Amino acid sequence: MEMKKMVRFGMFVAAAAMTFAGCSKEDITENGVPAAGTKVTHSFVAEFATSRTALNDAMTRMVWSEGDQLGIYTDVETDLNVASSVYAEGDGKFTADIDAAATKVYAYYPYYDFQKDDDKNDRTHKNVSLYIQDAQNQTVAGVLNGNMVGMYASASIVPGQNTVLTFDPIASIIAFNIYDADNSGEAVKSVTFSPAGGEKLNGQHIYDLEAGTTQSTGSKTSVTVTLDTPYVVPAEKPADKSGYIYLAVSPKNYSGGTFMVVTDKNTYTFETTKALDLTNVYAPLTIPMNLAAGTTAEDYSGTYVVLAKENSTYFALASTNNNNRTRLDAVAFEYNGSDTSVTVTEPELVWTVAKDGNVYTFSNNGKYLSYSGSSNTAKIDDTPYNLYILKDATNGTYNIKSEVDPERILAKYNEQNKYFAFYTTGGNNDLYLVPADYKNLPIIDLSTTSVILDYNDESEHEITATVTDATTVVASAYATEDGSVECDWLSASYENGIISYYASANNTDKARTAYIIVTATNANGTRTEIITVVQNIQAQGTEVTFNYGVLYSTVTTNQTVTEDTVDGVTAQYVKISGNNFPQYYNNGKNLRIYNKSTMTISAPAGSSIIKIEFTASTWTADKGTVTVDVGTLTSKTWTGESESVVFTFTASNRIESFVVTYK
């Protein structure tokens, strides 16, 4: 509901004169009361019934806007959240179809279709959900958006008489009268209020429309109003209300707080220890603000790591998305919580923050931190993306918000999910900006990090290594991953971007593993990368093939599976604690095994499995989400020697077939 021209939002009692309309004579009984069980159309004309303080003294009527709509209940249980007609400009009334037997009417504004929310579709007039939003908007200065202020009313229906609905607002109003004695020509874009005592000032309110009481008084501790059209503030304080910026809050006393004014050039803060009495929903609290007296926010330009703390662990925002396709990685980061700066050697963790007016961009390697504009996401983009940086001086943390969508705040969701995204609710959005000194260690980019050799493969092989910013590069083979023991069957060397390696024949009865450690050094330090080399044994024993398209050739639909046996070899599938049981999917002819599930492959009694080779359209072992309890899993091949092998899955995989070799 937008209040037009000079009235905007009238702090009056809203009266509705109700008349019958659209009923034929056959619908009316002899005593003038419509027959029970029939519906009649009532017409509601909304006016102010009593004199109260208005935001403008020039008018005494509420002006409804085209598109406004009321929600209606009556004491007949079938009249459950009836939507009124949509208000049309110049019409001057609302209509709603309610039961003819109704003797009480309960109304609220703005209308909300609770039926579309499964957890709210049982609302009655005793528990209507009304909201004071924590992210409010105002089209232009001087015009309150009435949708930000819910109202409710109740009254008795007397046949043949007008019925008056007296609306009461659920929110109190702060009216900011902003000017700038320095006359710097700044335009206000938003105002945020954060109470000093952490009082809850907005959120969901559950109203009993009959009693006029609420079960809650809010859930959030800050509220922001954003202007669609920024307000260019004058040099002198306006005497009228044409420039007022309005903020709706829960009616209560607040123990002072902080007001943050964001303009097109700066961010200002105003702090007050004076108690703010906002208990009267009919009397707006006017607060004059001179931008020249505000505290200008500091300039955050510089180079940082962006950290979120969970328990005692810090996680850094990365420019990569290995952990989630639509979000950015959260990487565990060593930080003691007190150092004023840190040295960083991982380029993907270093962000350059640049200021432009009152907004900032965060860039990494020429690309910008951005919100994609869809759901809870974050991305890296070629185009600069403006962000607000809002500091909480009490605990030294920062909120990083989207300029175009200020409800979206950068946050790490929780400890289990290793990623950052822009959220409207939830997540840890109290972030740390720690100045970073980037040391550009060498960068090593390998064409592969794992290889498998046949038992008798003694030929020389090559791996491409793209190394930058290095003064020396060395590659050597070791029996241990930490490089403490040299390998006696594998040799490796590096020259001109090529890692060369060769092995002696494996004449043992077990597969063996070695590690090629590539070391690159420059003046800032050393970086290493590891290539895992597995050499198989000579093929021996019996091969058994599990082909799911063959095993389930007669199945035409998806089917949950628990066990398959082929020639004495058994595969068992178990859902440990995930959401989905392992299933055969006819579309794709594969086994889909999900997060928190296991597959146990067992040899016939008295035998040992020595190799398992998978064919899978989706296989996440290289990301560490497929692990084994024994032996070695390299890419899609397991080697070792065991009566059974347990594969544990922490991501979804699709397996078309696998071959088991046992002896």
Bridge partner list, 628? 647
Domain range spanning residue 36? 13-128+135-169
First to last CA, the chain: 79
Let me know whether 642 and 589 are in one domain: yes
Q: What is the CATH number of the domain that holds 312?
A: 2.80.10.50
Q: Residue 276: in which H helix or E strand, if any?
A: strand 276-277
Does some domain include residue 322? yes
Q: What CATH number did the domain enclosing 216 receive?
A: 2.60.40.2630
494 and 562 belong to one structural domain = no
Residues 183 and 237: beta-carbon distance below 8 Å: no
Contact of 179 with 235, CB cutoff 8 Å: yes
Q: What is the 3-state secondary structure (H, E, C) of 218-274?
A: CCECCEEEEEEEEEECCCCCCCCCCCCEEEEECCCEECCEEEEEEECCCEEEEEECC
> What pLDDT does 116 receive?
61
Exposed e or buried b for every residue in 551-586, given b needs 16+ CB within 10 A?
bbeeeeeeeebeebeeeebebbbebeeeeeebbbbe
- Say yes or no to pLDDT of 615 above 80: yes
Max avg pLDDT among 62-66, 147-151, 346-350: 346-350
Q: What's the pLDDT at 51?
A: 28
- Please report whether residue 2 resides in a domain: no
Report CA Rg, the chain.
34
Of the candidates 501, 535, 569, which is a domain's last residue? 535
Inside any domain, residue 104: yes
Quick one: pLDDT at residue 406? 80
Question: Looking at per-residue confidence, does 356 or 494 come out higher?
Answer: 494
Checking if the pLDDT of 289 tops 60, the result is yes
Give burial (CB, 10 Å; 0-12/13-18/19+) of 325.
exposed
Per-residue confidence (pLDDT) for residue 11, from 0 to 100: 24
Examine the fold and report which residue of 412, 438, 464 is the final residue of a domain before the chain moves on.
438
Question: What is the three-class DSSP state of 621?
Answer: helix
What is the average pLDDT across 281-310? 91
Nearest CA to 149 out of 96, 95, 225 is that of 225
CATH code of 463's domain? 2.60.40.10
So what's the pLDDT on residue 206? 85
Residue 154 sits in the same domain as residue 179: no
Q: How far lies 274's CA from each of 198, 212, 506, 534, in Å?
A: 15, 30, 82, 72
Task: Indicate the average pLDDT of the chain.
Answer: 85
Q: Is 426 within the bounds of a domain?
A: yes
Neighbouring CB atoms inside 10 A of 383's CB total 8
Quickly count: other Cβ atoms within 10 Å of residue 430's Cβ: 15
As a whole number, mean pLDDT of residues 88-92 equals 65
More confident residue, 357 or 99: 99
459-462: long-range contacts, CB 8 A cutoff, minimum separation 24: 459/502, 460/500, 460/501, 460/502, 461/500, 461/501, 461/502, 462/498, 462/499, 462/500, 462/501
Looking at the structure, tell me whether residues 217 and 237 fall in a common domain.
Answer: yes
Let me know if residue 1 belongs to a domain: no
Q: Is the dihedral of CA 310, 316, 317, 318 positive or negative?
A: negative
For residues 565 and 531, state if they share a domain. Answer: no
pLDDT tens digit string along 175-229?
999 999 999 899 999 999 989 888 888 877 888 888 888 877 667 788 899 999 9
What is each CA distance from 551 to 259, 479, 655, in whole angstroms? 68, 41, 13
Q: What is the pLDDT of residues 360-395, one digit of tens each?
A: 999 999 999 999 888 999 999 999 999 999 888 778
Using the predicted structure, report yes or no on whether residue 594 has a pLDDT greater than 80: yes
Q: Give the sign of the dihedral formed by CA 485, CA 490, CA 491, CA 496.
A: negative
Same structural domain, 225 and 77: no
- How would you classify residue 549: left for phi > 0, otherwise alpha for psi between -120 and 50, otherwise beta? alpha
Q: What is the 3-state secondary structure (H, E, C) of 346-403?
A: CHHHCEEEEEECCEEEEEECCEEEECCCCCCCCEEECCCCCEEEEEECCCCEEEEEEC
| 30 has pLDDT over 50 | no
Q: What are phi and psi of 90, to 5 degrees?
A: 85, -10
Per-residue b or e along 143-153, where b marks 16 or more CB atoms closer than 10 Å to that residue's CB:
bbbbbbbbbbb
Domain membership of residue 4 (yes or no) is no
Once rounded to an integer, what is the mean pLDDT over residues 104-126? 76
DSSP string, 95-130: EEEEETT--EEEEEES---GGGSTTTTT--TTSEEE
* Residue 591 confidence (pLDDT) above 50: yes
Q: For the chain, what is the domain count? A: 5
Chain mean position to CA 229: 27
Q: Which of 253, 247, 235 is nearest to 287 (CA)?
A: 247
Please check whether residues 194 and 92 belong to one and the same domain. no
Q: Note whether residue 3 is domain-resident.
A: no
The reply to whether 511 and 613 lie within a common domain is: no
What's the CA gap between 592 and 612, in Å, rounded?
18
434 with 326, same domain: the answer is yes
Whether the predicted pLDDT of 576 surpasses 80: yes
- Cα 274 to Cα 278: distance, rounded to the nearest angstrom: 12
Distance CA 636, CA 653 (A): 12
3-state secondary structure 307-354: EEEECCEEEEECCCCCCCCCCEEEEEECCCCCCCCEEECCHHHCEEEE
Higher-pLDDT residue of 62 and 401 is 401
Asked if 445 contacts 531 with a C-beta cutoff of 8 angstroms, the reply is no
Same domain, 17 and 162: yes
Let me know: does 76 contact 101? Beta carbons within 8 Å.
yes
Let me know whether 81 and 147 are in one domain: yes
% of the chain with per-residue pLDDT over 90 = 56
The Cα-based distances of 34 to 84, 590, 645 in angstroms read 20, 66, 78
387-428 pLDDT, tens per residue? 999 888 778 899 999 988 888 999 998 777 899 999 988 889
Please say whether the beta carbons of 591 and 558 come within 8 A: no
Neighbouring residues of 593: CB distance < 8 A, sequence distance ≥ 6: 573, 582, 599, 649, 652, 653, 655
Q: Are residues 516 and 531 in the same domain?
A: yes
pLDDT digits (tens, 9 = 90+) for 520-552: 999 988 999 999 999 988 767 899 999 999 999
Q: Which of 438, 467, 495 is the last residue of a domain?
A: 438
Closest CA relative to residue 536, chosen from 449, 658, 636, 454:
454
Residue 645 has pLDDT above 90, yes or no: yes
The phi, psi pair for 541, rounded to 5°, reads 90, -160
β-strands 223-232, 135-138 pairing: parallel
103 in any annotated domain: yes
Is the pLDDT at 23 greater than 50, yes or no? no
